[in-house]
Structure formats: structure tokens, C-alpha cells
Amino acid sequence: MTGLAVLDVFISLVFIYLLYSLLAMTVIESITSAFSSRSKNLITGIDRLLADDQLSNWFNHTVANLFWVKTTNPLTKAFYAHPAIKYLGHKGLNSKPSYIGKDRFGSTLIDLLRKGAYLDDVSNISATLDIIPEYDPSLLASKIRDAEIRLKEVSEADTEDKAEIEAAQEQLDHLRREHFQRKGKTNPWEIEGLSIGSETKYQLKNLWQQAANDKEKFKALIENWYEEQMDRIAGWYKRKVTLLTFIVGFVIAGFFNVDTISLTTELVSNDEMRTMLVESASAYLAEHPEIPNSTTLQEQQIYLDTLSARMAKYNYVLGADKKKPYTPWTVLGWLITAYAISLGAPFWFDLLNKLMQVRNSVKIPAKGANAGDGDSPENLTIKAVG
């Protein structure tokens, strides 16, 4: 084989990979959108921040997390029950938001930590993080009872002292107002059983101490902590989707019988099919300066069916071929195709552009028409998808 023929084989394979990667990408986007996979992955990331190991479900860190998520951590549940988070998502089965900004995360978490019976936020946060003891409401209740008894005694005294009665009443009113204020410091929505794991509490306590009891500094530290985690969350999602793409790619490779080993062997020996695929790839790039990202499954199916029909003219069949028995080498060919598909359509689109630029820079010797009737470059320009 000449160097140009080898290049054409690579271009043909890359073109095939690009088309089926686009199909897989459309399928993956439909699946992840239907199951709100991004929101489930975000729950996993936030749960990893707010839950100790024993409360963090390992199942959430597998590819199955794209379809289902479970958390038993009380703090994570309280976080998502908070109105600031709850109403970010739409109402329905998949109601959780797929994105939460760092400012909203920080302010929501601080709002959860500052709930308590102390009248100032600093004391409540310190109490929640076990830096100071929780406020004992029984002390105030005892003071109120004493004040009520005192008011009753001065009111029933033989010598009525209006100034003393007014002072006793004022003290009782003050204690009752304080009781009302402290009661209002509890959570306004129902999050029974809210607790923080020891490891998570230790991390939050460190951040609180670094902030020197300053709420704004504490919020900034929490936001930085969350932002670092968001980078990891994006990486988790990408790896899960890559694995799912490999699985979907294997199904596609098997369904359409896109066997890389068989296809490569055929391309090496079949000059006419190779020429047709190279010219189709050139026409495709001419119609698509950028990678299509809004192609429907029906449009892609029409394009692939048309291409398969043209390849069949050169005695190569994509799809089920009853005349050809499948072997372990066929399955290996599907696995190679599945791996290629998992690399993603953008990868193959960029590579195809570069290969075509290299080919166009090579001087191609003139030769007679050998592609058969109806296979001129004009007729090979298949209606492109997108």
C-alpha cells in the first residue's frame, strides 16, 4: 500500500467512528436528560462533602449513579430540604437542581449551622460545631416561672405597690419575649433528626476556627471548599458518562455490526469503498465547519442507512449479516469500536479535520474514474445530518 492509501484507511475509519460517536452522543444526552443525571451526580458530590464515610453510599460513585442516587446523611437531606435549594429544581420526579452556585451553597450551609436557641449566630454556629455547649432552655423556663410567681406575690400583697408590680410585669414580659426569640431561632421547616457526622463536623470546625468566628470569612472558606469539590464532581460525571458511552457504543457496534477489524481489512483491499468514504468525509466536513450538536436520532439514522447502502455496493455489509458467522474476533472488533466511540465525537471530528488537511496537502496523481456509475463526488455528497 502507498502512504496515501494508508492515510485514506485512517480517514475512512475516523469518519465511521465520528458518525457512530455522534449517534452515541445523542443517545447519551437523551438518557442523561431523562434521568437528570447531572443533578444526581451533584447530590453525590455534595453528599461526599457533608457525609462521613459510613453515611456515604458507595453505590453513588458507580455509573449507576447516572440513573439513581441515595443518601442517608441527615445533613445532606437537610441541605436539600432548605427552601434556598429545594426550589431551584422543577417540581416533579427529578426535582433536584443540576447546578448550585458556591454563594448559595455557602449561605445555605451557614443557615443550617446557625440554627439554635442562642440569640446570636456566632454562638449558635459554635454550639452546633461543639465548640461551646448547646443552650439549655430549661434555665429560661425556670426564670419565667420565678417571674410569674413573683408577679403573683406582689399583686396579692396586702399593701399594693404599683411600681413593684410594674417592675415584676416588665421583667416577665422581657423573659417571655426572650423565650419567643429563642424559639424562633429553631428551624422554620421540618428537618427532624438533623445531625452532623464527626468527621464532617471536624472539617467545619477547622474552617470556623480559621475564620476566627467571622461569618463572612467562614462563608468564603466554605465556598472555596465547595468550589474545589465542584472540579472533582465534574471529573466524576465525565468518567461515568465515558463508561456509559462505552457500554452504549458496544451495543451500537453490535447492532450495526461495526467491526473495526473486519472494516480495516476491507478498507485495505477495497480501493473503491475507501475512495467513497474519503470523499463522503470531505463532503461532510464541507457541510459541517463545526461539529453538529443538535442532530436528532432520526436524521442520524437516515444518514447512516444511506452510507450503509453505498458500502453494500462494494460488498461490505453494516448491520446483521446472516451469511457471515460471528467469531470472537468479531466481538473484539466491536470492543475496539466501542472504545473508539467512548473517546467522543469532538475527538474524532478534530482528528478528521487534521487528517483531511494532511491529505489535501499531498499531491494526488490523476486517475480514471473507478468508483462505478452514480459514485461521482457530486453523487457521493450524502445529505449530512445536523
Nearby residues of 38 by Cβ (< 8 Å), 6 or more positions away: 32, 98, 99, 237
385 within some domain: no
Nearest to 112 by CA among 98, 99, 125, 102: 125
Q: How far apart are CA 166 and CA 381, in angstroms?
A: 97
CA 106 to chain centre: 20
Structure confidence at residue 375 (pLDDT): 47
Q: Is residue 381 one of the residues assigned to a domain?
A: no
Alpha helical stretches, state H, 185-320: 198-210, 215-256, 260-269, 271-287, 297-312
Question: Does 84 share its domain with 213?
Answer: yes
With beta carbons less than 8 A apart as the criterion, state whether 179 and 140 touch: yes
Containing structural domain, residue 328: 3-32+241-360
- The reply to whether 210 and 94 lie within a common domain is yes
Residues 6+ apart with CB under 8 A from 329: 261, 262
Domain assignment of residue 148, yes or no:
yes
Q: Please check whether residues 212 and 325 belong to one and the same domain.
A: no
Closest CA to 66 of 84, 43, 49, 95: 43
Cell numbers standing for residue 195: 445531625
**At residue 301, what is the residue type?**
Q
State whether 87 and 107 are in the same domain.
yes
How far is C-alpha 12 from the geometric centre of its chain's CA atoms? 34
Is residue 16 within 8 Å of residue 343, measured between CB atoms?
A: no
Does 103 map to a domain?
Answer: yes
Is residue 8 a part of any domain in this protein? yes
Question: How confident is the chain (386 residues) per 10-residue block, as mean pLDDT?
Answer: 81 95 93 93 93 85 90 90 88 83 94 81 88 74 76 73 77 73 56 77 94 94 94 92 96 92 92 92 90 76 84 77 75 96 94 93 56 43 41
State the Cα–Cα distance between residues 54 and 75, nearest whole angstrom.
14
Q: Residues 6 or more apart from 385 whose CB is under 8 A from it? A: 22, 292, 295, 299, 300, 302, 303
Based on the fold, state whether residues 228 and 295 are members of the same structural domain. no
Same domain for 62 and 84? yes
Query: Which residue's C-alpha cell is 461539529?
Result: 291
- Print burial letters for 93-127: b (CB count within 10 Å at least 16), e (below 16): eeebbbebebebbbbbbbebbbbbbbeebbbbbbb
* Residues 9 and 268 sit within 8 Å (Cβ to Cβ): yes
Share of the chain above pLDDT 70, in %: 85
Give the pLDDT confidence score for residue 370 in this predicted structure: 45
Instruction: Give pLDDT tens digits for 77-117.
Output: 889 989 899 889 877 677 889 999 999 999 999 988 888 77
Q: Is 153 helix (H, G, I), strand (E, B) or coil?
A: helix
CB 341 within 8 A of CB 24: yes
Are residues 55 and 108 located together in one domain of the fold? yes
Residue 321 falls inside a structural domain: yes
The helix or strand, by DSSP H or E, that contains position 48, with its residue range, turns out to be: helix 37-50
Q: Are residues 50 and 173 both part of a single domain?
A: no
What is the reported pLDDT for 134? 74
CA distance 334 to 324: 15
Within-domain flag for 253: yes
Q: Cell 396579692 belongs to which residue?
A: 156
- Identify whether residues 324 and 270 lie together within a single domain: yes
8 A C-beta contact, residue 18 and residue 345: yes
Specify whether 106 is located in the same domain as 204.
yes
pTM: 0.76
> Could you tell me if 85 and 14 lie in one domain?
no
- Quote the number of domains for the chain: 3
224 shares its domain with 82: yes
User: Is 378 inside a domain boundary?
Assistant: no
Nearest to 112 by CA among 145, 79, 65, 81: 79
